[in-house]
Structure 1
Amino acid sequence: MGGSAQFIVGNTYSKIPDDAAVYSARRGIKKQHDVTIYVDVLDNPDLIERVTFDLGSTFTPPKFVHNTPVPVKRPNGAQAWRFATRQSVFGQFTAEIKIRGSGGSTHDVSHYVSFTPESRQRKGAVMRFNEPRHERPFRMAALSDDAQFGIELEMSSPSYNSEYQIAQNLEETNDLQIDVIDTWSGGRSTSDHWKLVPDGSITCNISQPDCNRFEIVSPPLRSGGGLSQVNKILRGLSGENVRVNKSCGFHCHVDVSKYSHRQIVKICQQFIKYEDAMDAFMPKSRRSGSNESDRYFQSNARAVKDQARSSYMSGIWAAHNLLSNCSDTQELANVMCPNGRYYKLNLQNLKNGRQPTIEFRQHSSTTNYEKVSAWVRFCVRFCENAANLAPPTPFKRGRDVDSKFEALFCFVIKDRALRNFYKKRKDLLEYESDGPCCTDCSSGRGCSQWLIDA
């Protein structure tokens, strides 16, 4: 039943050198003041759902929403969790701040932005936010309006239940055209329709040695409407006799046509930085070092490091430097994926010009919409945020995977609902068995729907 949290409102300040200041587009005045307006939560940060900073009509946009606090140390050394917005401004102003709790209650605060260094500002008063309502789970952030993606889900069905039957049933229940393609190569062209394409990489379950092996491939999808189409398809599949096992993959394509070459480089650098953190919430068969990974979704980090070792540097710093020095997409794709498309992050579509997407290949297949939706949101947000962040700094040697996981969701994904979803998945996968109980493939049956259909 609700709770309370203490918080402090304030701002940091630094003067921007005259030769580095830019002009305001609306007023033609140099913006010489760098400020970060913050709400530091001193305890119980998950009681706060989000903080909205309304900076006024002279800002574009006037409001900034922060829903994932960053851990910081207060001047007295105490731990706090910071909701903030950083701005370059030309004059002082008052920010109207709205704090929203996890039960829906709100608290409004006004803050006059100071142009003196934080150490010389009057210390902010400790205030208290009370949430009398029941806390609700965080909701995953909506996809941006211009987010474009596509999915491929590998599946199998008994030999008597053909792809044509499945396609016909999906069309009848979803008002969507489903094309059945007879050859894998015929399914590679981009289409406006959903497709069922044969896939010889799948291994049939031991109980169905003569299964039909196929993947269902989406057309290019956009934002929330695209996820709604995915939901329709998966609801339709729930009435079909389809199967997934650990040989089946779920590939997510993210459209990166709006990003520059340098932004795509940053996406790649963030990927190799956090690759082992992503391994932590994948089944063991889909982590680096497994037979399946070595064949179908190899480690990009290992590939880049191996190439960097032959240069004048070594280790993860050399890997980041090697990516930074790639002059174009062709060179970048050759460094990230030196032996073709079978890598966790596949850039071959950018290299050959087939379509402007990068492909996340590591996730296991599923018919569960929540898992598909979460992974699509993760991949899209990973690209969007990595592209717009500063180039990443590699972790210091010895950083453990748990802290990398927290950093991934705090600084790159910035979505606590996704963090909680994958934290639960990560914790459950720690108990995954390597034995036949959890293979559900050619050697036995599965023991956990969460782990297999994951």
Structure 2
Amino acid sequence: MSKPYADLEDITFGVELETHRPTDVEGRIGGYHNGVAVPWANCGSTGYNRKKWTAERDGSIHGTRSGYVGCEYVSPIMKGEKGLENLMKFVDLLKERGHRVNRSCGVHIHLGLKSIVGENASPDDVVAFLAQLNKYVFNWQDALFGQTGTRRGEMTYSARMQAGENMVERIKTISEKPKGTKTEQDIREVGYASTRYRAVNLTNMTRGNSSSATIEFRFGAGTLNPNKLLMHFASCVFMARLAWKTRHNKRDAVSWELNKGYHRRPAKAGVRGVKFLSRRMNSARAGYRLKEESAVMADRWDRMHETALEMARKYDSRCPNR
């Protein structure tokens, strides 16, 4: 890829929305990983590989009140601005039909690996990118979980990355191999070392740099708020684009040591982290260019960041160390 990072229009993505669905909503709910097409999802999704949004059961969704059932909606593979328009229309349809969320619900965002790194990226470049992306997520976890307004990082299915854990140490070791010596197997080793239930899930890397390999971000809390959802998406794309651009930068601004000011004082980590991430997104072209690439983003950009900061205050208010 000759560009410094991928254009939004070229980025493929998918979204999983966990909800509480009213039992009188039309259509069946399929089994886990065996979803059934949503008959009322007429929001342009048939243009994506002739597939639609699907509905499936997920045992992690609980606490449903009478008249509701847990349901995860899985998008087709989407791309660029049309994909964002599709996502916003689908969220509107969920709200019109009375869907709800609670703390057991999550939002999972997948980015297609090849759409970020390009068709002909070398294993050396891909491994360097994955290591850099992990480092950003590791450093900015409070900014990511903070924008949800929940302590989602303390939950089983989206736990925080921890210093010294196997995934962190293994990726550090692989990334430190001399330039030009990394192989397709090293990409797979990143996947083998990864843990699915983290803020970022790289277990799909066991497929190597294949067309089906995706990066899954799991930090998002269940929401039908378009500002929160778009902020989650923008954060994922920004980190991925920045990680690709800086993959071989040995003097990068972040490290594995968690020694920045926004890492101090856990009781204020959410607000500090979100403010830092917002500044980076608004000062780095990989971030603010999203407003130029997407009318959906441009229309809600300021509200996205304002909502994230509001949620971060809630996140900090729930800090157990206050």
TM-score using structure 1 length: 0.50
Q: Aligned runs of 1:191-202 on 2, under 5 Å?
A: 192-202=51-61
1:159 has 2:47 as partner: no
Structure 1 residues 161, 193: CA separation in 2 closer, same or farther (over 3 Å shift)? closer
Gaps of 5+ in 1: 1-59, 62-142, 179-189, 309-315, 435-454
Q: Distance in 1 between matches of 2:105 and 2:19?
A: 6
Structure 1 residues 403, 212: CA separation in 2 closer, same or farther (over 3 Å shift)? closer
1:307 has 2:166 as partner: yes
1:427 has 2:282 as partner: no
Aligned to 1:169: 40
CA contact (8 A) 2:19 2:71 kept: yes
Q: Distance in 1 between matches of 2:313 and 2:108?
A: 23
Aligned to 1:409: 278
CA contact (8 A) 1:343 1:361 kept: yes
**Residue 150 of structure 1: CA displacement?**
0.9
Q: Distance in 2 between matches of 1:161 and 1:425?
A: 30
CA contact (8 A) 1:151 1:218 kept: yes
2:310 counterpart letter in structure 1: K
Aligned to 1:203: 62
**Residue 433 of structure 1: CA displacement?**
9.7
Aligned to 1:222: 79
Number of corresponding residues: 263
Structure 1 residues 244, 146: CA separation in 2 closer, same or farther (over 3 Å shift)? same
1:349 has 2:204 as partner: yes
Aligned to 2:240: 383
CA contact (8 A) 2:147 2:228 kept: no
CA contact (8 A) 1:269 1:320 kept: no
Aligned to 1:370: 227
Aligned to 2:159: 298
Please state whether the residue corresponding to 1:228 is helix, strand or coil. helix
**Residue 243 of structure 1: CA displacement?**
1.8
Q: Aligned runs of 1:273-292 on 2, under 5 Å?
A: 273-287=139-153, 290=154
1:213 has 2:82 as partner: no
CA contact (8 A) 2:58 2:70 kept: yes
Structure 1 residues 364, 325: CA separation in 2 closer, same or farther (over 3 Å shift)? same
**Residue 223 of structure 1: CA displacement?**
1.1
1:146 has 2:4 as partner: no
1:408 counterpart letter in structure 2: L
Structure 1 residues 432, 227: CA separation in 2 closer, same or farther (over 3 Å shift)? same
**Residue 161 of structure 1: CA displacement?**
3.1
**Residue 156 of structure 1: CA displacement?**
2.0
2:166 counterpart letter in structure 1: Q
Structure 1 residues 319, 334: CA separation in 2 closer, same or farther (over 3 Å shift)? closer
Provide, for residues 99-129 of structure 1, a one-character-per-residue CA deviation record: whole Å limited to 9, x for no partner: xxxxxxxxxxxxxxxxxxxxxxxxxxxxxxx
Structure 1 residues 412, 430: CA separation in 2 closer, same or farther (over 3 Å shift)? same
1:265 has 2:113 as partner: no
User: Whose Rg is larger?
Assistant: 1
**Residue 342 of structure 1: CA displacement?**
1.5
TM-score using structure 2 length: 0.69
Identical residues among aligned pairs (%): 21
Please state whether the residue corresponding to 1:154 is helix, strand or coil. strand
1:322 to 165, 173, 180: 173
| RCO comparison, higher one (Cα < 8 Å, 6+) | 2
Provide, for residues 180-214 of structure 1, a one-character-per-residue CA deviation record: whole Å limited to 9, x for no partner: xxxxxxxxxx9732211222221032x32x63322
CA contact (8 A) 2:9 2:80 kept: yes
Structure 1 residues 411, 198: CA separation in 2 closer, same or farther (over 3 Å shift)? same
Gaps of 5+ in 2: 30-36, 118-125, 289-301
Q: Distance in 1 between matches of 2:198 and 2:28?
A: 31
CA contact (8 A) 2:102 2:222 kept: yes
Please state whether the residue corresponding to 2:56 is helix, strand or coil. strand
Provide, for residues 204-239 of structure 1, a one-character-per-residue CA deviation record: whole Å limited to 9, x for no partner: 32x32x633221111111111110111221222222
Please state whether the residue corresponding to 1:145 is helix, strand or coil. helix
Q: Distance in 2 between matches of 1:406 and 1:176?
A: 34
Q: Distance in 1 between matches of 2:207 and 2:170?
A: 23
**Residue 321 of structure 1: CA displacement?**
3.7
Provide, for residues 9-33 of structure 1, a one-character-per-residue CA deviation record: whole Å limited to 9, x for no partner: xxxxxxxxxxxxxxxxxxxxxxxxx
Provide, for residues 136-190 of structure 1, a one-character-per-residue CA deviation record: whole Å limited to 9, x for no partner: xxxxxxx72212211000112233435449933333xx35559xxxxxxxxxxx9
Please state whether the residue corresponding to 1:351 is helix, strand or coil. helix
CA contact (8 A) 2:200 2:217 kept: yes
1:332 to 169, 172, 190: 190
Please state whether the residue corresponding to 1:284 is helix, strand or coil. coil
Q: Distance in 1 between matches of 2:220 and 2:188?
A: 25
Structure 1 residues 175, 227: CA separation in 2 closer, same or farther (over 3 Å shift)? closer
CA contact (8 A) 1:382 1:412 kept: no
CA contact (8 A) 2:190 2:205 kept: no
Q: Distance in 1 between matches of 2:139 and 2:242?
A: 14
Q: Distance in 2 between matches of 1:342 and 1:297?
A: 5
Please state whether the residue corresponding to 1:358 is helix, strand or coil. strand
**Residue 285 of structure 1: CA displacement?**
3.6
Q: Name the one with the larger strand percent.
A: 1
Aligned to 1:243: 100
Structure 1 residues 242, 375: CA separation in 2 closer, same or farther (over 3 Å shift)? same
